[in-house]
Amino acid sequence: MKKLSLLGLGAGLIAAVAFSAAPAQAESTLDIVKKRGHLRCQIGTPAPGFYNLKKDGSWVGSDVAVCRAVAAAIFDDPNKVEFQSVTSTVRFTALANGESDFLSRTTTWTLYRDTQLGLTFTTVNFYDGQGFMVPKDSGINSALDLKGATVCVLTGTTTELNLTDFSRTNKLDIQPVVFEDSNVRNETYLKGGCDAITNDKSGLASNKAGFPDPGAHTILPETISKEPLGPMVRKGDGQWFDIVRWTVFALVAAEEMGINQGNVASLAANPTSPEMARMLGKEGDLDKGLGLPKDWVVRVIGAVGNYGEIYGKYMGSKSPDGIGIARAGSQNDLWTKGGLMYAPPFR
């Protein structure tokens, strides 16, 4: 499947393109996607861990894996995805106007975004919090040392708003230096154009991993916000909402049950519990409301693995594509291990 990159498009242009692509009201998103023959999944501009563009033109990352998982559920082919790489300032317009089928990128769930954009979050697939990164030789050891500092930040994000709140609350008089493109922001920081850079801490780890000398930079200890990240869809199509939501839940539930990419076929043939049998399509009709084949979960796990496999490969250290964020004991660990990753029952 040809990969589409929308890097650098202005809001007006993408809105115009998106408007012409808006789906007819009478058709469901699932029907449109099936007729088109592939999924249109919106991601961000390249960032290791979440969505990174490799030299061969392929996209990899934890959010990319969610796109591929949904494609696998529908088409039994994780490659039937058109990846749309869009800047933060136009992401919601592109989704609302129908250019994207759903958004799978580092987007924070907030009240405003969930109630005033015509969009809705499906669930959380990564728990995060905002922090700061500085050059290791800067002498800055705490975010409270940033009084009067210039801080690079992406505009149109909760990150920008949180930076302002943090500065006001602590009377730091921080001077934001705003950017629409993360690459330009990073280049400015690396050239000394600002004293620090602020982002979700996972984003900072991603940025740092991509720097020429990662060891020359340090992430400060403070976490100044809650950043629950997850996929978004347009409001008004409950079936599509459920497909995206329960695909993420399937990734989590599979890990909890011990189902992985290597054993999913054998466990589908011989489930070890009634819930596993239901989830893998051997008993019941849980696929009916989704409009997917009975073996849709088998397709998903066979294509991308479970949540833990995806995390280890892209967010952890189990492949060259990982960015080294430890999971054990974190909010992103399974609920059975003290984390917050939890899927409702497949019943």
> Could you write out the DSSP letters of every residue in 110-125?
-HHHHHSSSEEE---S
Distance in angstroms (rounded) separating the CA atoms of residues 100 and 43: 10
Query: What whole-number percentage of the chain has pLDDT above 70?
Result: 93
Place of tokens 């930076």: 163
Mean pLDDT check: name the lowest of 23-32, 193-202, 211-220.
Answer: 23-32
pLDDT value at position 25? 53
Checking if the pLDDT of 6 tops 90, the result is no
pLDDT value at position 22? 44
Whether 11-126+229-337 shares its CATH topology with 130-225 is answered: yes
pLDDT value at position 156? 86
pLDDT value at position 31? 98
Distance in angstroms (rounded) separating the CA atoms of residues 260 and 253: 10
What kind of architecture, by CATH, is found in domain 130-225? 3-Layer(aba) Sandwich (3.40)
Q: Where are the domains of the chain?
A: 11-126+229-337, 130-225
Q: Is 336 exposed, middle or buried (0-12, 13-18, 19+ CB in 10 A)?
A: exposed
Checking if the pLDDT of 4 tops 60, the result is no
**Closest to 150 in 3D by CA, of 183, 107, 118, 179:** 179
Distance in angstroms (rounded) separating the CA atoms of residues 144 and 115: 33
Residue 174 in tokens: 């921080």
Helix or strand or coil: residue 48?
coil
Checking if the pLDDT of 254 tops 60, the result is yes
Distance in angstroms (rounded) separating the CA atoms of residues 26 and 206: 41
pLDDT value at position 149? 98
Place of tokens 């890097």: 7
Residue 314 in tokens: 């892209």
Mean pLDDT check: name the lowest of 22-31, 206-215, 235-244, 312-321.
Answer: 22-31
CATH superfamily to which 11-126+229-337 belongs: Periplasmic binding protein-like II (3.40.190.10)
Contact 189, 135 (CB under 8 A): no
Residue 192 in tokens: 């000394």
pLDDT value at position 2? 42
Distance in angstroms (rounded) separating the CA atoms of residues 280 and 268: 6
Checking if the pLDDT of 23 tops 50, the result is no
pLDDT value at position 1? 46
pTM: 0.88
Summarize pLDDT for 92-125 with one digit per residue, the tens.
999 999 999 999 999 999 999 999 999 999 999 9
**Stretch 16-35: mean pLDDT:** 67
pLDDT value at position 283? 97
pLDDT value at position 253? 98
pLDDT value at position 307? 98
Place of tokens 């397709």: 299
Distance in angstroms (rounded) separating the CA atoms of residues 241 and 238: 5
Residue 87 in tokens: 């800047």
